[in-house]
Amino acid sequence: IKGMVMAVFTLPSYPYVFKVIRDRFPPPKKTTRQEVLATYRLVKMHDRVGRMSDILEYSHVALPRARFSEDLLEELYETCAKSVSEEGDQIVFKHIYIERRMTPLNLAVLRADDQYLRRLMKGYGEAIKELAAANIFPGDLLMKNFGVTGQGQGRIVFYDYDEICYLTECNFRQIPEPLYPEDEFASEPWYSIGANDVFPEQFVTFLFADNRVRKAFLKYHSDLLEAGFWIQKQKNIEAGIYEDVFPYPKKLRFSR
């Protein structure tokens, strides 16, 4: 799935991906280039708790033109023209990110047996919870924005940062009861929605079209669908209570 904010490319043998900010972002994206740059800087400076991929940021990077397919060059010139130029036998990028290559979680799920699926969904929810404990809300929780390290056998890591924000900036709400029965069938919601409003009970609808995947997730993380879970995390952070987050499973940690 091509990203709306970044053009991403790599080589089959290369363990990293290159990411270039597109010149324009199609709807429904409302962010700007400066906001994208700011979110990536936030991630660079923040405690990533082992759940956000590190980013290497470079300017004026030259790569051999011969390594680019014509289709890729066409896309880069069409959507990233402000950041890309051709100089002799090289393609030069005014600004580029390099990030660790991972297996997108949505693709890992497609080929997972029941046991591996449960492991993936357990790690997916744990990643979201550990980010919340570090005062980070991913913004877009879709599985395509998370990756699996170690050729699909490792940890679940978040890697798409253009909608990221501090958890304490969000307003977590429970959907109010409708005033009339027909409200539930209306094309527009019967309640107001602010710019920072988040309704956790909707996550299961937007994130899981496949009932098999939904059941595996809810087995471990049904609490993520409750506004109270998120509000308590915010209260903890505002009170200066930061949870311990361990990057390794308990069986691999040093004993105390």
Q: What is the pLDDT of residues 72-107, one digit of tens each?
A: 999 999 999 999 999 999 999 999 999 999 999 999
User: Where does a domain end: 82, 100, 118?
Assistant: 100
Based on the domain organization, do 70 and 125 belong to the same domain?
no
Structural domain containing residue 62? 6-100
The tally of domains found in the chain comes to 2
Answer yes or no: do 72 and 30 share one domain: yes
| Residue of 23, 47, 54, 244 with catalytic role | 54
Please check the confidence at residue 152 and state whether its pLDDT lies above 70. no
Q: Are residues 117 and 243 both part of a single domain?
A: yes
Q: Give the 3-state secondary structure of residue 21.
A: strand
DSSP state of 186: S
Residue ending a domain, among 79, 100, 121, is 100
**Do 85 and 211 reside in the same domain of the chain?**
no
- Among residues 78, 100, 122, which one ends one of the domains? 100
Q: Is the pLDDT of residue 21 over 70?
A: yes
Would you say residue 1 lies in a domain?
no
162 is catalytic: no
| pTM to 2 decimal places | 0.89
Sign, CA torsion 38/40/44/45: positive
Mapped onto helix, strand or coil, the DSSP state of residue 75 is: helix
Residues 242 and 115 in one domain: yes
Q: Is residue 114 located within the same domain as residue 223?
A: yes
Residue 197: pLDDT band (50, 70, 90) is: very high
Q: Can you say how many angstroms the Cα of residue 224 is from the centroid of all Cα atoms in its chain?
A: 16
For residue 141, being part of any structural domain is answered with yes
